[in-house]
Structure 1
Amino acid sequence: MKKLILMMMLVLGTFFSSQAQKVPTAEEIAKKNIEEIDKRLKLTPTQKSVIYNYTFDLAKEQLALYKKQQAGTFKEEDETKFFKLQNETNKNIKTVLKPEQVIEYNKLTEERLSGIDPNKKKRKLKKGEEEEKVVGIEGLKTGNN
């Protein structure tokens, strides 16, 4: 009986640990990106389709780079190549957007680079109350310095 329970725990532990470490596919990454962009910029169906293709290609390269890092075959040139592709993708996306959308896209890009979460509301401070400072590695992660 003990062996059966131990075996079941081992099987369940393996199952849950494999589910927790699932790497998203290029389609999932591109879909998430296009949803966020569409929510902010109100894209037309044509814009959405073209931008999806750009983000999908970038996501494929991003996953390839991740796999190289995991395999230990990563080279610095790979990272440089990825950043060039990322800049080219941003440039191509901007050519598809209307001028007012480009302004909002630039804001979105800045927020992504700085780590700001637009869905997270800032709490208003009461009189005499100070903003809570987060120190250490958590402070670096959140950008609250």
Structure 2
Amino acid sequence: MKRFALLMMIVLVGTTITIAQNRDEQRELNPEKMAKQQTEKLKKDLKLDRVQVDKMEKYLTESNKELVKLRDELKGEEDRFKIRDTMREFRTSQEKGIKEILKPEQLEKYNKMLEERSSRRGRGQGRN
């Protein structure tokens, strides 16, 4: 019985460690991977042409590198409002860059996508 309890404890600890490592990997920000995923979604949703796909991926890769740098700078920051405002400024800037690549009909659809995302998140109603 003691052996069984010991075995169960080892399995539990091993599982916990594995889950924690997977979470760390998921949180790791890889700008190129993020840009590729974002571009694929925009390509599908907005029907981007090949030239736009190339521009978008290049832009988002650079933008996401800035994001990683920004998040590193904000680590340890205790002022949640400063973090929120800084991230909001970044997102606004990123959205502007994306909009510059889009054609008018795509821009209209993109704006609708942003509105839907805002309403799902309850934008402007942050958790104080």
Q: Answer yes or no: same fold by TM over 0.5.
A: yes
Q: Which has the higher contact order (CA 8 A, sep 6+)?
A: 2
Matched, 1:44 2:46: no
Shift of 1:94: 2.0
Q: Separation in 1 of the partners of 2:78 and 2:31?
A: 19
- Alignment TM-score, normalising by the size of structure 1: 0.61
Does structure 1 residue 9 correspond to structure 2 residue 7? no
Pairs aligned (count): 117
Q: Is 1:19 aligned to residue 42 of structure 2?
A: no
Q: Which residues of structure 2 form unaligned runs of 5+?
A: 123-128
RMSD between superposed Cα atoms in Å: 3.1
Q: 1:57 to 1:112 in 2, by over 3 A?
A: farther
Structure 1 82/5 Cα, relative in aligned 2: closer, same or farther at 3 Å? closer
**Deviation of the 1:38 alpha carbon:** 1.0
Aligned match for 2:119, one of 96, 114, 119 = 114
Pair 1:53-2:69 in alignment: no
* Aligned match of 1:122: none
* More helix as a share of residues: 2
Tell me which of 59, 72, 76 is aligned to 1:72: 76
| Cα drift, residue 26 of structure 1 | 2.3
Unaligned 5+ runs, structure 1: 117-139, 141-145
% identical aligned pairs? 26
Q: TM-score scaled to structure 2, two decimals?
A: 0.67
